[in-house]
């Protein structure tokens, strides 16, 4: 197959491209320039898309022996991923930009351009497995290394785009294995630090980034009874379940920590309360993407749900809604799920297999006896 390998300049994408070559594919490397104002160097492990990253990707492609190009997708990235990030926070929601990047950039803009140029698939360094069988849609599964699994942020792509994807690192036993392989291949990125946090907020100051883009929008911090406890510069600086950085002058009456319970951007109000008030009973998510059946009958079925990239999947029951959404009953299991925010990605699993993905719209508190 003709394969386009997305090369970020990191060790994972470099080894993935090399493995695709070893598998006998005709591979071309491409680095996506996503930032409009790329720095010469990265800030430690933060950020991406620097000129340094593009150079690292080029050197890796040279060692592997494949053609290499840089594609400028910065305008598309700004119009989709960054714009969505700002709009969601302004609306009091909590977005996951990695999910949106996979949806709009890697497996939409990049994949569509690759197909138009005659490529059969896009190869990335994500840790996830694709299980294929004759006559059946491809299945998305967790990576062999659970600690590195990225199926959660990939689930948004859906089965049609999954059919044109390759994840050569899905069966890797550990990141150490990948780094060792990179060193053996002579790839200079073998010891390069992993990037983390939000790639377009290179200094890690998400609140500062939002304040610069959205401006100061002061308002009150109140308890469930409406008593004003403090003030803030913008609701976008908070997310459901947040404990740190509330800047509340006095402790709660019971002496226990307070957490963000809700965000009301229209009135610029942040509501705080106890940890018990974060318990979720029911989750409503919209625009479901199904990998394994559409469950059009609307019947409840047992599964597991994950609502954070590095969160634990907990046993629940779920059902498809007629409007295309998904409803999840958390009380059906024995685990507590707390602090789920609108805007988060919700992924359903059956053991290691991804069943569906949707974006959280609303939650209902758990009713405690």
Query: How do residues 331-343 score in pLDDT, each as one tens digit?
Result: 987 788 999 999 9
pLDDT at 38: 54
pLDDT band at 49 (very low <50, low <70, confident <90, very high): low
Mean pLDDT over 139-146 rounds to 97
With tokens 């569906």, the residue in question is: 356
Burial environment of residue 143 by CB neighbours within 10 A (0 to 12, 13 to 18, 19 or more): buried
pLDDT band at 40 (very low <50, low <70, confident <90, very high): very low
pLDDT at 205: 87
Res. 11: pLDDT tops 50: yes
Q: Judge whether 199 counts as a catalytic residue.
A: yes
pLDDT band at 316 (very low <50, low <70, confident <90, very high): very high
Active-site residue, from 48, 98, 123, 199: 199
| Global confidence as pTM | 0.93
> What are the residue ranges of CATH 2.30.30.280 in the chain?
216-277
| CA-based nearest residue to 47, from 205, 176, 153, 215 | 205
Active-site residue, from 98, 101, 123, 303: 101
pLDDT at 287: 87
Res. 291: pLDDT tops 70: yes
Q: Judge whether 101 counts as a catalytic residue.
A: yes
The least confident of 75-79, 81-85, 191-195 is 191-195
Query: How do residues 172-184 score in pLDDT, each as one tens digit?
Result: 999 999 999 999 9
Q: How far apart are CA 267 and CA 288, in angstroms?
A: 30
Contacts 24+ apart (CB under 8 A), 109-115: 109/73, 109/76, 110/4, 110/6, 110/30, 110/32, 110/71, 110/73, 111/161, 111/164, 111/165, 113/71, 114/4, 114/164, 115/164
> What are the residue ranges of CATH 2.40.30.10 in the chain?
279-365
> What are the residue ranges of CATH 3.40.50.620 in the chain?
2-191
pLDDT at 369: 56
| CA-based nearest residue to 343, from 354, 355, 329, 358 | 358
- pLDDT higher for 366 or 5? 5
Res. 190: pLDDT tops 90: yes
Q: How far apart are CA 150 and CA 175, in angstroms?
A: 13
What is the overall mean pLDDT for the chain?
Answer: 91
Are the beta carbons of 102 and 165 closer than 8 angstroms? no
Res. 42: pLDDT tops 60: no
Alpha-carbon separation of residue 104 from 112, 127, 183, 233 (angstroms)? 10, 19, 33, 31
pLDDT at 45: 45
pLDDT at 294: 64
pLDDT at 48: 59
Res. 196: pLDDT tops 80: no
Mean pLDDT over 187-203 rounds to 85
Res. 36: pLDDT tops 80: no
Q: Which CATH number fits domain 279-365: 2.40.10.10, 1.20.120.1200, 2.40.30.10, 3.40.710.10?
A: 2.40.30.10
Looking at the domain 216-277, which fold is it?
SH3 type barrels. (2.30.30)
Residues in CB range of 68: below 8 A, 6 or more apart: 7, 28, 29, 30, 31, 57, 58, 61, 62
pLDDT at 41: 47
CB atoms within 10 A of CB 62: 11
pLDDT at 349: 97
Tokens of 50: 């620097």
Torsion of CA 42, 148, 161, 119, to 10 degrees: 60
3-state SS class at 229:
strand
Q: Where are the alpha helices (DSSP H) in the chain?
A: 11-22, 51-64, 74-77, 83-90, 97-101, 110-116, 151-154, 158-162, 175-184, 206-214
Q: What is the CA radius of gyration of the chain?
A: 22
Res. 234: pLDDT tops 80: yes
| CA-based nearest residue to 68, from 33, 42, 43 | 33
Using the Cα atoms of residue 184, residue 185, residue 188 and residue 191 in order, give the sign of their dihedral.
Answer: negative
Does the domain spanning 2-191 belong to CATH 3.40.50.620?
Answer: yes
pLDDT band at 320 (very low <50, low <70, confident <90, very high): very high
Tokens of 329: 């009953």
Res. 97: pLDDT tops 90: yes
Q: How far apart are CA 228 and CA 225, in angstroms?
A: 9
With tokens 């294995």, the residue in question is: 177
CB atoms within 10 A of CB 306: 24
């Amino acid at each position: 197959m003709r394969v386009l390998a997305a090369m970020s300049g990191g060790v994972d994408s470099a080894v993935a491209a090399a493995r695709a070559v070893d598998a006998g594919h005709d591979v071309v490397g491409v680095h996506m320039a996503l930032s409009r104002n790329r720095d010469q160097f990265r800030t430690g492990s933060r950020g991406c898309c620097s000129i340094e990253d593009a150079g690292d990707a080029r050197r890796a492609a040279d060692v592997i022996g494949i053609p290499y190009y840089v594609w400028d997708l910065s305008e598309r990235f700004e119009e989709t991923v960054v714009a969505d990030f700002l709009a969601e926070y302004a609306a009091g929601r909590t977005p996951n930009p990695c999910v949106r990047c996979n949806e709009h950039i890697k497996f939409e803009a990049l994949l569509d351009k690759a197909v138009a140029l005659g490529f059969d698939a896009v190869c990335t360094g994500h840790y996830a497995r694709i299980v294929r069988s004759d006559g059946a849609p491809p299945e998305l599964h967790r990576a062999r290394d659970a600690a590195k699994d990225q199926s959660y942020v990939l689930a948004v792509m859906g089965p049609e785009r999954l059919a044109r994807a390759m994840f050569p690192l899905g069966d890797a036993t550990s990141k150490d294995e990948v780094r060792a392989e990179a060193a053996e291949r002579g790839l200079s990125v073998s010891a390069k630090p992993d990037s983390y946090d939000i790639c377009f907020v290179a200094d890690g100051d998400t609140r500062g980034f939002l304040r610069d883009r959205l401006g100061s929008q002061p308002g009150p911090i109140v308890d469930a009874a409406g008593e004003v406890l403090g003030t803030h510069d913008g609701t976008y600086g908070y997310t459901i379940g947040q404990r740190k950085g509330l800047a509340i002058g006095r402790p709660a009456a019971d002496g226990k920590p307070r957490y963000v319970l809700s965000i009301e951007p229209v009135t610029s109000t942040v509501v705080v309360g106890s940890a018990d008030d974060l318990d979720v009973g029911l989750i409503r998510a919209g625009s479901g993407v199904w990998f394994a059946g559409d469950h059009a009958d609307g019947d409840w079925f047992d599964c597991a749900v994950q609502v954070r990239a590095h969160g634990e999947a907990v046993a629940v029951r779920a059902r498809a809604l007629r409007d295309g959404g998904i409803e999840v009953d958390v009380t059906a299991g024995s685990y507590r799920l707390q602090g789920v925010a609108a805007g988060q990605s919700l992924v359903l699993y059956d053991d290691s297999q991804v069943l569906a993905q949707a974006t959280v719209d609303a939650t209902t508190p758990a009713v405690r006896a």
